[in-house]
Structure 1
């Protein structure tokens, strides 16, 4: 019985981690046109007690910002360039799909464990 509850806990931690990942991907997409914006990334690690995953610290992608030529922009320097963001929408969409699929996989695992727990209770009552 405790193994079923433990598997539900692990699946729930996976869903929570993927939802946080999706939140950062959404922020990156929303700020793709913000001058000077650095893409946020997040990694995952095993929980200290070994029962699930926890999101690691949020890090800023330090890759070079795109130089945009627009002499009329208020942030443009003497050469007419300003720093754009380093967000690549193709990468963000791929990350969003991966997070969505991982979330769905954890949700299915959670649902299976819930159904098995429910069946076990019915057997014990019976």
Structure 2
């Protein structure tokens, strides 16, 4: 039963990490048109507690890629040189990250469900 509990713990930590990744990707997509917005990134860290391994999110950091400068002299936010700042969010990357996070979340959920079913079956066998 201990192995099943460790599996469920690892799956739950994976789901939490992917949920955080999906949340940040959603924030980035929502702010893609915000002038000067820097894309938010999160990294994953391995956590070892005793004999249990899990994953946790590291600190949220900003992407250091330059923000895009757009020449649009008629825009109200344009400077004297006619350029304005956009964000450094690439929608294709964000959509791909969101899909990958969603699929990873689903894989962790299936592993959690499988471990839960195995634990239930084991309990049923022990009752007999």
**Shorter-chain TM-score above 0.5:** yes
What is the CA-CA distance between 1:48 and the residue it aligns to?
A: 4.2
- Match of 1:115, SS? helix
Superposition pairs of residues 35-54 of structure 1, within 5 angstroms: 35-49=35-49, 50-54=52-56
**Hey, what's the Cα distance between the residues in 1 that align with 2:76 and 2:126?**
71
Residue 91 of structure 1 aligns with which residue? 93
* TM-score normalized with structure 2 length: 0.95
- Worse overlay, 112-121 or 48-57: 48-57
Residue 30 of structure 1 aligns with which residue? 30
Superposition pairs of residues 53-92 of structure 1, within 5 angstroms: 53-92=55-94
Residue 123 of structure 2 aligns with which residue? 121
Q: What is the total number of aligned residue pairs between the two structures?
A: 126
**Hey, what's the Cα distance between the residues in 1 that align with 2:23 and 2:74?**
33
* TM-score normalized with structure 1 length: 0.96
**Hey, what's the Cα distance between the residues in 2 that align with 1:47 and 1:113?**
20
Q: Which runs of 5+ in 1 are unaligned?
A: none
What is the CA-CA distance between 1:27 and the residue it aligns to?
A: 0.3
Q: Does 1:19 align with 2:19?
A: yes
Q: Which runs of 4+ in 1 moved over 4 A?
A: none
Deviations 1:76-104 (A, max 9, x none): 11111111000000000000010011001
Superposition pairs of residues 94-109 of structure 1, within 5 angstroms: 94-109=96-111
- Match of 1:38, SS? coil
What is the CA-CA distance between 1:47 and the residue it aligns to?
A: 1.3
